[in-house]
């Protein structure tokens, strides 16, 4: 296989090629410049490949570029929510808080992009519209909305799991006279709510972070809740050198643990675990609640598989809600029931439940009092009208497949990815698709992706794909494709792993249940030892891939 020069030396329209003079040629095109895309650029360039990055936003950062609503911050401790690949970067960067705010996380992405010299290789403010695999040259022809054509042997999709906003069609929304904001596309200029009557639709992680902050400014804040969520206190605070030192001492052990065959939040070991007495469980949840953060879900290995454990944890959190929220009707409406704790992504908050004790905050329970219509100056529900000056939609994302499905990918036989995934996404290991040679997805459906640390999961995929590409190049192959049987077996395994847990028991975005018409397929891989399996497959000559 011909290897072109590093990106900055790229020739365009090379003699003898069918390419147009303005076509951009590269070994690899990386779509997306969030954490995964930036690392992919770095890693593939290290392999000596020419790499072109394409990013919709005018800057790096991915979801952290767009999600800048008030209160936006990470729900994973910042020391963990950081790249692991560079000890130098780890030593240089100091997080100010246990759970960093959006601006600091974006600064970190910018710092990493500059530190590793990645910006010159990225086309910003550019969106990929379609991509077709050219059988004659074994290359992807990638077209963008700026009119450019990029021809690259490998196409790496680093478009993120939570990047395409779920734009809900509330009846009458277009008639609303005030400003409407979506948390996932927040304006870059300051937004002021002081003295205004503000409505928030949604009570997921984004809303739960935003509501306490907006409530401090708004004259009146009305929260429209369709499904209550479980939320635990972050207990955020400043980080100091001692915290960092403690973290550094255990980080390598953590990294090594990721490779273990036993690693996985909901491993098969969970099924043999005992069910501890209720008082023992509650005492543990109490400690973890005081400690803060999502670690409560790690209290017992069978918390996400065994209803007798999960029910106690869920009731514990409901009791905390009842003890915080003074109005019993509001407290009960905020208590999630009917689905297990942890099977929708748990929220991590700073004062969420207590916000409902403020005199300027009201909850509308849409299960009892549904929205009938948005009006010019408010929202009409079954029971009356709520006057509003501004409306915030915290309605989430078309998760995991949204960004991939909106690109018109055409495979060898002309089938688009959208068509191939009509009944739900199908991948081998969450990284590759049969029928789509040389196309790789980072943290794709069928991989742990959003379960666990998405930055580390992204790094793992980039490294693994880099190994796979290097393997192909060493064999002189110009085409790498997942085998349809390997893909089918993997999808069966992904479904079987999910089926052994409580995850499918909630209408979550993990299942695509938040998007009307989206097939209900549990998308993340929640089995055990994912990295171990990937390593074994690589050691076995990338079993399940064809190298032609
Ligand atoms: P989300 O969890 O999907 O929440 C969306 C909310 O909007 C839900 O309460 C949903 O109700 C509601 N909703 C959707 N359509 C609606 C409609 N037509 N009418 C009324 N309500 C509607 O989205 P998110 O809060 O943006 O969070 C998504 C994920 O992003 C999180 O789970 C997390 O993984 C990630 N995230 C992370 C952070 C962080 O790191 N701190 C922050 C924000 C987000 P239903 O539940 O009934 O569908």
* Predicted local distance difference test score (pLDDT) of residue 5: 38
At 386-427, the pLDDT tens digits run 999 999 999 999 999 999 999 999 987 888 999 999 999 999
| 345 CA: nearest ligand 1 atom | 32
In short, whether 469's Cβ falls inside 6 Å of ligand 1 is no
As a whole number of Å, the end-to-end CA separation of the chain is 11
What is the CA(359)–ligand 1 centre distance, in A?
25
pLDDT band at 20 (very low <50, low <70, confident <90, very high): confident
Q: In the CATH hierarchy, which top-level class contains the domain 24-164+399-547?
A: alpha beta
* Predicted local distance difference test score (pLDDT) of residue 6: 38
Checking if the pLDDT of 268 tops 60, the result is no
* Predicted local distance difference test score (pLDDT) of residue 212: 98
How many other CB atoms are there within 10 angstroms of residue 480's CB atom? 25
> Residues 315-322: contacts with CB within 8 Å, 24+ apart?
316/281, 316/282, 316/285, 316/286, 316/289, 317/230, 317/231, 317/232, 317/285, 317/289, 317/341, 320/289, 320/353, 321/353
d(CA 106, CA 61): 6
pLDDT band at 102 (very low <50, low <70, confident <90, very high): very high
Mean pLDDT for the stretch of residues 255-268: 82
pLDDT band at 480 (very low <50, low <70, confident <90, very high): very high
In short, whether 345's Cβ falls inside 6 Å of ligand 1 is yes
In short, whether 350's Cβ falls inside 6 Å of ligand 1 is no
Q: Worst-scoring range by mean pLDDT, 26-30, 42-46, 250-254, 530-534?
A: 250-254
* Predicted local distance difference test score (pLDDT) of residue 120: 98
Nearest CA to ligand 1 atom 28: 396
220 phi/psi in degrees, rounded to 5: -145, 135
What is the CA(138)–ligand 1 centre distance, in A?
40
- What percent of the chain shows pLDDT beyond 70? 95
Length of the chain: 548
* Predicted local distance difference test score (pLDDT) of residue 262: 87
Nearest CA to ligand 1 atom 33: 205
Q: Which of 168, 184, 226 to mutate to test the pocket of ligand 1 (most atoms within 8 A of CB)?
A: 226
* Predicted local distance difference test score (pLDDT) of residue 272: 78
* Predicted local distance difference test score (pLDDT) of residue 412: 77
Choose among 323, 314, 366: nearest CA to 343.
314
In short, whether 514's Cβ falls inside 6 Å of ligand 1 is yes
In short, whether 197's Cβ falls inside 6 Å of ligand 1 is no
Q: Tell me the pairing of strands 384-387 and 378-381.
A: antiparallel
- What percent of the chain shows pLDDT beyond 90? 92
At 326-339, the pLDDT tens digits run 999 999 999 999 99
Give Cβ neighbours of residue 53 (< 8 Å, ≥ 6 apart): 29, 30, 31, 32, 33, 37, 41, 118, 121, 122, 123
Give Cβ neighbours of residue 194 (< 8 Å, ≥ 6 apart): 217, 218, 219
Residue with tokens 């790094």: 459
| 366 CA: nearest ligand 1 atom | 20
43 phi/psi in degrees, rounded to 5: -70, -45
At 217-232, the pLDDT tens digits run 999 999 999 999 999 9
At 185-219, the pLDDT tens digits run 999 999 999 999 999 999 999 999 999 999 999 99
Mean pLDDT for the stretch of residues 228-251: 95
In short, whether 227's Cβ falls inside 6 Å of ligand 1 is yes
* Predicted local distance difference test score (pLDDT) of residue 265: 64
Mean pLDDT for the stretch of residues 115-143: 96
* Predicted local distance difference test score (pLDDT) of residue 10: 40
pLDDT band at 270 (very low <50, low <70, confident <90, very high): low
d(CA 322, CA 340): 18
**Assigned superfamily of 173-238+270-393:** FAD/NAD(P)-binding domain (3.50.50.60)
* Predicted local distance difference test score (pLDDT) of residue 460: 98
At 331-372, the pLDDT tens digits run 999 999 999 999 999 999 999 999 999 999 999 999 999 999
* Predicted local distance difference test score (pLDDT) of residue 269: 57
* Predicted local distance difference test score (pLDDT) of residue 22: 85
Helix-, strand-, coil-residue percentages of the chain, each rounded to 5 = 35, 20, 45
What is the CA(166)–ligand 1 centre distance, in A?
9
Within the chain, all domains assigned CATH 3.50.50.60 are found at: 24-164+399-547, 173-238+270-393
CA atoms within 13 A on the CB side of 95: 29
* Predicted local distance difference test score (pLDDT) of residue 9: 34
What is the CA(244)–ligand 1 centre distance, in A?
31
Mean pLDDT of the chain: 94
In short, whether 508's Cβ falls inside 6 Å of ligand 1 is no
């Amino acid at each position: 296989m011909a290897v072109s020069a590093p990106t900055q030396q790229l020739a365009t329209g090379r003699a003898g090629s069918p390419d147009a003079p303005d076509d951009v040629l590269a070994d690899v095109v990386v779509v997306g410049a969030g954490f995964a895309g930036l690392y992919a650029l770095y890693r593939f360039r290290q392999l000596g490949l020419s790499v072109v990055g394409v990013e919709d936003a005018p800057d790096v950062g991915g979801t952290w570029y767009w999600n800048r609503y008030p209160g936006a911050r990470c729900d994973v401790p910042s020391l963990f929510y950081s790249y692991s690949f560079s000890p130098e970067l780890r030593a240089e960067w100091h997080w100010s808080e246990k759970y960093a705010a959006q601006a600091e996380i974006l600064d970190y992405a910018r710092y990493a992009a500059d530190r590793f010299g990645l910006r010159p290789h990225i086309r910003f403010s550019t969106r990929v519209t379609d991509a077709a695999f050219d059988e004659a040259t074994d290359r992807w022809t990638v077209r963008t909305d700026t009119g450019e054509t990029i021809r690259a042997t490998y196409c790496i999709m680093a478009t993120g799991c939570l990047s395409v906003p779920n734009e809900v069609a509330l009846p009458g929304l277009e008639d609303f006279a005030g400003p409407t904001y979506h948390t996932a596309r927040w304006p870059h200029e300051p937004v002021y709510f002081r003295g205004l009557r503000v409505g928030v639709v949604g009570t997921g992680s984004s809303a739960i972070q935003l509501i306490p902050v907006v409530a401090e400014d708004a004259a009146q804040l009305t929260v429209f809740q369709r499904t209550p969520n479980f939320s635990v206190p972050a207990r955020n605070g400043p980080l100091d050198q001692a915290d960092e030192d403690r973290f550094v001492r255990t980080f390598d052990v953590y990294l090594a643990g990721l490779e273990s065959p036993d690693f996985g939040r909901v491993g098969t070991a969970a099924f043999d675990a005992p069910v501890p007495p209720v008082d023992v469980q509650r005492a543990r949840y109490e400690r973890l609640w005081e400690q803060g953060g999502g670690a409560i879900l790690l209290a017992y290995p069978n918390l996400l598989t065994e209803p007798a454990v999960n029910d106690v944890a869920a009731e514990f959190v409901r009791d905390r809600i009842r003890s915080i929220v003074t109005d019993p009707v509001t407290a009960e409406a905020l208590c999630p029931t009917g689905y297990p704790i942890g099977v929708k992504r748990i929220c991590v908050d700073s004062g969420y439940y207590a916000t409902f004790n403020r005199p300027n905050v009201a909850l509308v329970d849409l299960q009892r009092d549904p929205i009938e219509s948005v009006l010019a100056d408010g929202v009409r529900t079954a029971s009356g009208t709520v006057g509003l000056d501004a409306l915030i939609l915290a309605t989430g994302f078309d998760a995991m497949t949204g960004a991939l499905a909106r690109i018109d990918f055409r495979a060898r036989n002309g089938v688009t990815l959208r068509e191939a995934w009509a009944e739900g996404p199908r991948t081998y290991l969450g990284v590759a698709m049969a029928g789509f040679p040389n196309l790789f997805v980072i943290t794709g459906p069928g991989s742990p992706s959003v379960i666990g640390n998405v930055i580390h999961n992204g790094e793992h995929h980039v490294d693994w794909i880099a190994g796979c590409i290097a393997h192909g190049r060493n064999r002189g192959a110009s085409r790498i494709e997942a085998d349809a049987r390997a893909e089918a077996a993997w999808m069966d395994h992904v479904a079987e792993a999910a089926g052994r847990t409580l995850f499918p028991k909630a209408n979550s975005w993990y299942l695509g249940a938040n998007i009307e018409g989206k097939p209900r397929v549990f998308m993340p891989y929640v089995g055990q030892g994912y990295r171990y399996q990937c390593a074994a497959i690589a050691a076995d000559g990338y079993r399940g891939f064809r190298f032609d």
